[in-house]
Amino acid sequence: MSTPGEDRAAVVTGSASGIGRAVVERLVSDGWQVLGVDLEAAEDLKGAETLGADLTTREGNRAAVDTALEAFGRIDLVVPNAGFQHVSPVADFPEDRWDALLQILLTSPFLLAKYAWPSLVEAPRGGRFIPIASAHALAASPYKAGYVSAKHGVLGLVKTLALEGAAQNVTAAAVCPAYVRTPLVEKQIADQAKAHGISEDRVIEEVILTPHAVKRLIEPSEVADVVAFLTTPAGSTFTGVPVTMDMGWTAR
């Protein structure tokens, strides 16, 4: 019996750690050929090709697509995941951080979709575009103007790509998790514990997870499981939509 990803190829960005690494590992285990892209290539991603590229540039995004096509001869799936966070009141928000956030969180997914589109259209079992968005694509938090704006933009991009891809057997869906146990979040926990003079456990429950109805962090592997489902035939029914896994955040 063939594996779910047999003879299919994917590009996953932000693959060195956290959600991106978990997605790469899950796809590889399912038989996919995978190119993991990060600012510095993660050489320890077993079973995957890796590439170091600056995804805030057009050249970096082009290199990601070209490298995958050279290695695999095709691209069936793109998972834009690379990103970072900056927390600041809008009056003090550094303009260069705004620019960088939009470049990596919104412009990079657009460029990856643009450059990979011909291959996605040709994918025998249908092309998939599955960016890792956030609950912040659906709801806002103070002091995160750049991140929230970019993630809302990603959802708009997904809706547009779904309409354009409908007649070409390409689907687009944005995975929208709440707080995930990633290095990005763990750093926030440590910083908040120090700032508030409380334990990291208290920070998780009283600060980080305040918007969650279910008071726990999501594991990266759980996000990877959702991505894997969206690559299945049943997953093709999800297009132009957020796939929300937010622990009850947006139910409020």
Give the residue numbers marked as catalytic: 147
**Rounded Cα gap, residues 78 and 56, in angstroms:** 17
**CA–CA distance, 234 with 225 (Å, rounded to integer):** 14
* DSSP class of 103: I
Encoded tokens for 88:
């600041």
> Could you give the CA distance from residue 67 to residue 88 in angstroms, rounded to a whole number?
36
> CA-based Rg of the chain, rounded to a whole angstrom?
18
Q: Which residue in 39, 147, 37, 136 sits closest to 97, CA to CA?
A: 147
